[in-house]
Amino acid sequence: MPSASPTGDDFGRALAEASPVPLIAITSTADIVFWNRAAEEAFDYTAADVLGRSAIGTIVPAEHAEELHGLIAETRARGRASARQSIRRRRDPAPVPVDLSTRLVRDVLDHTELIVVGYKDVTSIWPIREAELVRALRESEAQYREIVENAAEGIFRSTQEGRHIFANAAMARICGYPSPEEMLQAVSDIGAQVYVDPEDRRRLIAMLRERGAVSGFECQARRRDGSAIWTSQTIREVRNEQGQLLYYEGLLQDITERKRLEAELLQAQRMEGIGRLAGGIAHDFNNLLTVITGRSLQSLAQLATKHPLHRELSIIYRTAERAAGLTRQLLAFSRKQVLEPRVVVLNELVAGLTSLLKRLIGEHIELRFAPSAEAGRVRVDPGKMEQAILNLVVNARDVMPTGGRITIATKNIDFTEKNPHPRLRPGSYVELSVADTGTGISRELQAHIFEPFFTTKPEGKGTGLGLSMVYGVVMQSGGHIEVQNAVGHGAVFVMILPRTDAPLEAVPREASDTPPRGTETILVVEDEAEVRVLTQEILQDAGYTILSAPHGDAALVLLERHAGVIHLLLTDVIMPGVSGGVLANRIKPLRPHMKVLFMSGYTDEIVRELVLTPSLQLLEKPFTPEALAIKVRDVLDSG
């Protein structure tokens, strides 16, 4: 009777030998020390063939060696191993699917340990299990294929040489091909045909060699029709067991819309920053110009026309007026100007400008006005809107020195949740477009054309403030402006303004040519000493009694001490300590009948919307003595 060693009594060995279950015993190192007759029948090895040999390489395939060592460790630790399924090998060497279980046996005399393994041959049900596995595999593959084909992202495999060997439907769609098959056939060199800049692929390959995988690699790709899109790629290397590169596998997303929105946000932030700078410069500059223009006019009024200094002072005044025009355009761009809006019909406003526009552009350019009869009303500052249209037309004229055509058109347009505008809220709008047949504007210039002092005109031919002024007026009116063009085929500037159903408003009457006078008492509060003194002199010359204070705190003290009536508070807005707005609010309970007139070259602290109302009056700096006298009288006479 074959056996390994006398590790048990004869009766126990006889039972093991006679067991219909294949039983073997192995040491902790996997050497076979017992083998019964059922094992001989199951595996076609006799006891003499296997005793003393390792189970690994005989009945245990080499690829299951790690599994066997785990089985031995578990048995020694717990006394048994949980039942499991595995594969063993016959002599032929056919695979034998088995259910197996183990027990730990210890010899109390020599303290040896053996692992007894019992096997159950499940070959008869193997075809059933194999069929189940095949079916499960096919279902899994079908699910995987469905996920890949229906994915929103492009999924691809490509070779190091630059050919696609797999692409899903989304990949083909993103790249502009009707099907993956057509894409695989058409693209033979990814670097040259797909990448806008072939250097991007070379950088990507270098990163993959270094890291093995790259996530979120952004670059521009060329679609089948030649158009460029922005893509984000996540790619990994796939290698075989020998470490050889088989292919690249990755995901591709079209991020063109995201990049566009990012660019718009950056441009908006940059324009906002430039606007704050421009507004701050205009504020300080307007204080200086107020003194220059005011003193110039005062001096001119005292000099005869033939006086030698009259011409010099006139030049100073006209120069200051030009400088004031520049600051007004800066404030327009920064959306810090004061608007005096009213409801107008845009068609009528443009129609009233056409004769002037025709004279400006000359006979070599044709002007067309194509209004939509249904174009609705808008609420804008008519004067500033006329200036904006004039600037657009003059710019269009300048890009057509040899002649061409300018077309102004209007129409209604609606934006909804389903048909949104990226920069405007859903609602009803009126669109006004100014199109020319010039050379168009390159994409690089489009990012800068609305910036102040940016110009493509030769030196001395313009300040570059025309379009920035248009931008400010439209944006401050609650609208949006954009340029649409194809280089070589002209440009179209599109203004989109909120539509209103409010009734038309009466046109304000023009002021009298004679500067008005008065006898009321006025409190002037201004932190710039030169502006304060000038304002006081102008109003005193007009007959008013003047009290003055250099800042808000001093004005409050003066009010407490002055027992008489003060008819008007004339205060600067931006001052150290107590601002003009805060001062007016503090005085109102103390002097409820006192009127208030603000003056400023920078209106951001007056009202967020920067639109005048009957209860909010503002005198813009720089102002002339006549403008100051007229505004003060208007406020004093208001109800």
**Token pair recorded at residue 467:** 């379009």
Q: What is the pLDDT of residues 572-583, one digit of tens each?
A: 887 888 888 888
Which H or E run contains 570?
Answer: strand 568-572
316: number of CA atoms within 13 Å, CB side? 18
Among 218-222, 340-344, 438-442, the range with the most confident prediction by mean pLDDT is: 218-222
Q: Where are the alpha helices (DSSP H) in 379-519?
A: 382-398, 443-446, 466-476
- pLDDT tier, 11 (very low <50, low <70, confident <90, very high otherwise): low
Say whether pLDDT at 175 is over 60. yes
Query: Domains in the chain, please, with CATH?
Result: 10-127 (3.30.450.20), 151-254 (3.30.450.20), 262-333 (1.10.287), 342-500 (3.30.565.10), 521-637 (3.40.50.2300)
| Counts of helices then strands in the chain (DSSP H, E) | 20, 22
d(CA 251, CA 231) in angstroms, rounded, equals: 10
Among 35-39, 307-311, 418-422, the range with the most confident prediction by mean pLDDT is: 35-39
Query: Exposure pattern of 100-123 as b/e (b: 16+ CB <10 Å)?
Result: bbbebbeeeeeeeebbbbbbebee
3-state secondary structure 552-569: HHHHHHHHHHCCCCCCEE
- Torsion sign over Cα 167, 173, 175, 180: positive
3-state secondary structure 60-129: ECHHHHHHHHHHHHHHHHHCEEEEEEEEEECCCCCEEEEEEEEEEEECCCCCCEEEEEEEEECHHHHHHH
Mean pLDDT is lowest, of 42-46, 465-469, 537-541, 627-631, for: 465-469
Q: What CA–CA distances, in Å, run from 35 to 43, 118, 314?
A: 11, 11, 124
Mean pLDDT is lowest, of 5-19, 42-56, 277-291, for: 5-19
546 close to 536: Cβ distance less than 8 angstroms: yes
Say whether pLDDT at 232 is over 50. yes
Say whether pLDDT at 160 is over 80. yes
Q: Is the peptide bond before 93 cis (omega within 30 degrees of 0)?
A: yes
282 close to 327: Cβ distance less than 8 angstroms: yes
Let me know the angle formed at the C-alpha of 458 by 455 and 462, rounded to the nearest 5 degrees.
Answer: 55
pLDDT of residue 412: 95
Q: What is the pLDDT of residues 294-324, one digit of tens each?
A: 788 888 878 887 887 888 888 887 787 767 6
Q: What CA–CA distances, in Å, run from 389 to 123, 370, 395, 443, 507?
A: 90, 15, 10, 23, 20
Say whether pLDDT at 141 is over 80. no
Mean pLDDT across 220-241: 90
Say whether pLDDT at 9 is over 70. no
Mean pLDDT is lowest, of 42-51, 235-244, 366-375, for: 235-244
Let me know the angle formed at the C-alpha of 238 by 232 and 240, rounded to the nearest 5 degrees.
Answer: 175
- Read off φ and ψ for residue 429, nearest 5 degrees: -140, 165
How many CB atoms are closer than 10 A to CB 72? 21
pLDDT of residue 612: 43
- pLDDT tier, 462 (very low <50, low <70, confident <90, very high otherwise): very low
- Read off φ and ψ for residue 59, nearest 5 degrees: -95, -15
Phi-psi region of 21 (alpha: psi -120 to 50; beta: other; left: phi over 0): beta
Q: Calculate the average pLDDT of the chain.
A: 81
- pLDDT tier, 221 (very low <50, low <70, confident <90, very high otherwise): very high
d(CA 553, CA 578) in angstroms, rounded, equals: 6
How many CB atoms are closer than 10 A to CB 37? 18
pLDDT of residue 606: 47
- Per the model's pLDDT, the better-predicted residue between 447 and 539 turns out to be 539
- pLDDT tier, 610 (very low <50, low <70, confident <90, very high otherwise): very low
Say whether pLDDT at 611 is over 70. no
Say whether pLDDT at 433 is over 90. yes
pLDDT of residue 464: 45
Say whether pLDDT at 325 is over 50. yes
pTM score, whole prediction: 0.42
- pLDDT tier, 145 (very low <50, low <70, confident <90, very high otherwise): low
- Per the model's pLDDT, the better-predicted residue between 452 and 543 turns out to be 543
pLDDT of residue 435: 92
Say whether pLDDT at 490 is over 80. yes
